[in-house]
Chain A
Amino acid sequence: MSSRERILARVRAAVAGAPDPEIPRGYRGPGALPADGVVDLFAERVRDYRAVVRVLPESEAAEQVARSLAERRAGRVVVPGGFPRALLTAPDVQWVTDDPPLTAAALDAVDGVVTTCAVAVAETGTIVLDAGPGQGRRALTLVPDYHLCLVRAGQIAPGVPDALARLDPVRPQTWISGPSATSDIELNRVEGVHGPRTLEVLILT
């Protein structure tokens, strides 16, 4: 008997006659949380993770991208395919594309990355990337030390159940809640271990 057959047979023998419970879903599921106030809540929750957060009208997005990159002194910045070209007006920035795909070493040598997102979660201050347009493959937002992420107000879901309902499980996803962090040394929180040490979120209203 193969291990597959053996494990399945053991499972069947083990659970024969076991009760089969109904799953009670009395918690706040999709649509249960109020949709108003999500921008403020999201901004507050992302700030709690010590990320930089700015709320601004969509019409000022290009200007703010330029300002943020200048403040960061980011000269070479990765731009994933499908990112809105109109927002790339920063004068002194060299835009690096991922086509053909950048090597890990090349990614390690850029100053930052600018992306959009797929969905955001207000209650937890989370942004979700799913490799869609403007987001790129997963490594792009991992290796560079600075991640500037644009979130449109309409993309902010009130809670986790709402966000999951909007996402396609088959696409590779990265849920990001603040910059990478560790508390492994005497439980002191240190921002930035292997992921970007600085996360900046622009919320476009």
Chain B
Amino acid sequence: MSRTFLGMPGAAPRSGDEGFPERAARALRDSQLRFNLRKATRTIRARRAGVVAELPDWAELRRAGKEIKDHTLRHLDTYLIQLEEAVTKAGGHVHWAADAAEANRIVAGIVKATGETEVVKVKSMATQEIGLNEALLAEGVTAYETDLAELIVQLGDDWPSHILVPAIHRNRSEIREIFTRRMAEWGRPAPEDLPDDPPALAEAARLHLRERFLSTKVAISGANFAVAETGTLVVLESEGNGRMCLTLPETLITVLGIEKLVPTWRDLEVFLQLLPRSSTGERMNPYTSTWTGATEGQEFHLVLLDNGRTGVLADEVGRQALRCIRCSACLNVCPVYERVGGHAYGSVYPGPIGAILTPQLRGMGSELDRSLPYASSLCGACYEVCPVAIDIPSVLVELRAKGRHHLAERTGMAAAGWVLERSGRLARMQRLGGRLRKLAPGRLPGPLGGWTDTRDLPPIPEESFRDWWNRTDGGRR
């Protein structure tokens, strides 16, 4: 079987030969990244807690969400066929893609048949997973990302680091710099003397993208849910770029992972409550669009994507990862993620969910994928917040047992503990009068190497992670 492609960029520092510890080491050196991540994850965490506490029936919604997904997966063949029938009846075209290459071929074929060479895209993890933009480029088609964060990432030749806030690793002055330098190459240039306050930057993005929205004839999206009984697709978003892509172009292509189905329209009453509250910590996201088949004169194509999912489905313990609704709540509570960010996980799926989904989708062939199940302290916070009750720690333990490998055990086993310890030390060093620069080594040794630069600091006492976490407020005290 060919290796499942998961949107791993080819650049050397991100190759699969490098394990999680090495990637984490690089991320930890980046104090801007750590500052942004901490601010962002803490903010979203607090917001989520507030709106979740508002609903007296959260536990019941979570239980229903879990079981609806398990039920759907149990009968996925039936529901896929039902969805196909409903979409076709409503005038849409349904395509099936076994892997990334086939999905890319199908999408490129549809775009080329329209004669267009430009498409607009709304943020979609499935299309990132299959490396669609790169595949389209090879066919002479330019894909324009339209989420503000994705735009920042794309203009900066960069890689997303968070499911929900992909440019979380960039601060405002970096964003201004990227806009000023690169917007002109891609379309309408940034205004002269662009200030670096967020409203001005958002306005620059609005103007840059507006002409493109009004003129582009083909759009590509993912979807959050697909209702089998009615053939209805559902997209939740904030900015309105999703609506622009779904509404204005003449042709719409939606790439949908086969695990995104729900049986009935009614089931949305569970997920439209679970997802926004878990994700952005809002009672409801600004915009949700639903459509069924060819809508308002548009041509509609639905590409159903496997790309390793049926393999995950075959694993009794691991299959629960397919319940994931990509809310990113598990990222925001993860003490390891908060310190190293998304890039260390080496795929489009970062954080705790990435640590269980990536190795399962891709197989445990590379050093990175074998080390990912160790990128956790098994503290269980991810399981507690997960709106569909994915028991991430149990899957991690199972994957560790499966992927037993001497190098992974030697360096990987300690990866999470090392990350936590290292960042705790960094924080303390920073408090010791900002001598970080002088103290931090120019070349980072391996995770189990000696830390001569921190020798004079008090050692971390032996205690459980939970105790340590509570006592130190996650290493911040």
Contact = CB atoms under 8 A, between A and B. Distances in A.
Contacts of A183: 165, 238, 280
B202 A192 contact: yes
B79 to A, nearest CB: 10
B249 to A, nearest CB: 10
A11 interface: yes
Interface residues of B, number: 92
Contacts of A71: none
Contact of B247 (A19, A139, A177): A139
Interface residues of A, number: 71
Interface string A167-185: 0011011111111111111
Contacts of B292: 169-170, 172
A175 B287 contact: yes
B316 A18 contact: yes
Contacts of B172: 185-186
Contact of A185 (B39, B201, B213, B284): B201
Nearest to B314: A14
B378 to A, nearest CB: 25
- Which of the listed residues A7, A13, A19 has the most CB atoms from chain B within 10 Å of its own CB? A7
B309 to A, nearest CB: 9
A165 B246 CA distance: 24
A49 B286 contact: yes
Interface in A6-47: 6-8, 10-15, 18-30, 45
A24 B63 contact: yes
A23 B67 contact: yes
Interface of A is mostly: loop
Interface of A: 2-4, 6-8, 10-15, 18-30, 45, 48-49, 104-105, 108, 121, 123-126, 131, 137-139, 142-143, 160-161, 164-165, 169-170, 172-188, 190, 192-196
The 10 closest A-B pairs by CB, nearest first: A195-B240, A194-B240, A10-B310, A14-B314, A175-B288, A180-B240, A27-B60, A177-B284, A14-B313, A161-B269
Interface of B: 36, 39-40, 43-44, 56-57, 60-61, 63-64, 67-68, 70-71, 73-77, 80-81, 90, 96-98, 102, 146-149, 152, 165-168, 171-172, 175, 198-199, 201-202, 205-206, 209-210, 213-215, 227, 230, 232, 238-241, 243-244, 246-248, 258, 265-266, 268-270, 272-273, 280, 282-292, 295-296, 304, 306, 310-311, 313-314, 316, 319
